[in-house]
Amino acid sequence: MREAKPRILSVRNAQIALWVTRGACILAGFFIAVVPALDDLITTAYRVLLIVPPLFAVVVAGLYFATDRGTSLHRSALVGAGIGVVVMIAPVALALGSSLLSVVAIFVLGVPAVVGFTVFVLFVAYLLWTASGLSVPRWIPVALVVVPVVDPILNAVLISILPIGISVTGLTWVTTGLVLHRDSNTDHDAVGVA
């Protein structure tokens, strides 16, 4: 009976971490989704994306506390996702310090951001596919990996239908935040052990 309280607190902490993770996914997705719409309205639309890497850092931290962290593969995936976030944050720090938007600056800042985003997405998709304690529809991890590749084509199709552009990658992250939840078996097992 002495272990009941810490185990229940552990489940509660995991649920709180999951809510924080969901919120960060939704906010990051919203900011990614609106960049094409803002592109016509303001000249610094891409500055909105500076908010995304810190939100992804919250996603990594939230996944750390929301998942059962027992396996080394999950720890490795969390480390990989964290490295992706660090690679994304470095260009953000440089972008905040400079007002240059030349081709060279976009290349110097953009390439690490894209590489970091790719690494981050691959590891988060792996975590969502395999992590015990979390549950998402199976198409979510696949969509997180595939949609950024086809996003320019989908955005071109959407812009012919809608009056403004919208990033489908952002919508995928919003959807991830909406459907991400704790595996009910994990909560029952944890309370049953307690």
Burial class (CB in 10 A: 0-12, 13-18, 19+), 54: middle
- pLDDT at residue 143, rounded to an integer: 95
Show me where the domains of the chain are located: 4-189
Interatomic CA distance for residues 142 and 162, integer angstroms = 26
> What is the per-residue pLDDT across 19-67, written as a single tens digit (0 to 9) for each?
999 999 999 999 988 887 776 665 565 667 778 889 999 999 998 888 7
What count of Cα atoms within 13 Å lies in the side-chain half-sphere of residue 124? 31
Please spell the DSSP secondary structure of 17-64, one letter per residue. Answer: HHHHHHHHHHHHHHHHHHHHHHHTT-TTGGGGGGGHHHHHHHHHHHHH
> What is the per-residue pLDDT across 153-169, written as a single tens digit (0 to 9) for each?
888 787 788 777 788 99
Task: Reply yes or no on whether the pLDDT at 193 is more than 50.
Answer: no
Task: Reply yes or no on whether the pLDDT at 5 is more than 60.
Answer: no
Interatomic CA distance for residues 120 and 194, integer angstroms = 35
- pLDDT at residue 12, rounded to an integer: 81
pTM listed for this prediction: 0.81
> What is the per-residue pLDDT across 79-130, written as a single tens digit (0 to 9) for each?
999 999 998 887 776 766 665 555 556 666 677 888 999 999 999 999 998 8
